[in-house]
Amino acid sequence: SKTHLLLMGLLASKPSASAPQGAPQMAAGGDDLPELRFSVGDRVKCRTGPGNGEDAWSPGCVVKQWYREASWPASRVAPYQIKLDDGRLIFAPMDDDRVIQALTGLLAAGKIP
């Protein structure tokens, strides 16, 4: 299935070929990328809808760091690819609390005890 872009209230509704504002750009050698806050396997919540309430966020698990799609320009990269608990595969366009946060509470374990 095609990876879906995270919905963000401040971004345009249609995807753009250019990287989202604040997204890291990969240097020619790929060595100049910053350290990320989350590791593969970390439980996170991602903004997938409008607003600021809990309904705007979906729980999931980081499955890849420094994700890119074949159709993107060589310099474009997303910090994370995330598999949401509902099965969707998305990416976070930037490593920022406005789009991706550590998951806490019961859902942090990925299952109800």
Cα 13 to Cα 74: distance, rounded to the nearest angstrom: 23
The owner of tokens 């409008």 is 50
59-71 pLDDT tens trace: 999 999 999 999 9
18-56 pLDDT tens trace: 444 445 555 444 567 889 999 999 999 999 999 888 889
Closest Cα to residue 94, out of 3, 39, 12, 19?
A: 19
Confidence bin at 17 (pLDDT 50/70/90)? very low
76-104 pLDDT tens trace: 999 999 999 999 999 999 999 999 999 98
User: Can you tell me whether residue 80 is helix, strand or coil?
Assistant: strand
Sign of the CA dihedral with 41 first, then 47, 53, and 54 last: negative
Residue type, 39: S
Residues 6+ apart with CB under 8 A from 13: none
What was the pLDDT predicted at 4?
Answer: 43
How many residues does the structure list for the chain?
113
Closest Cα to residue 100, out of 51, 56, 34?
A: 56
Confidence bin at 10 (pLDDT 50/70/90)? very low
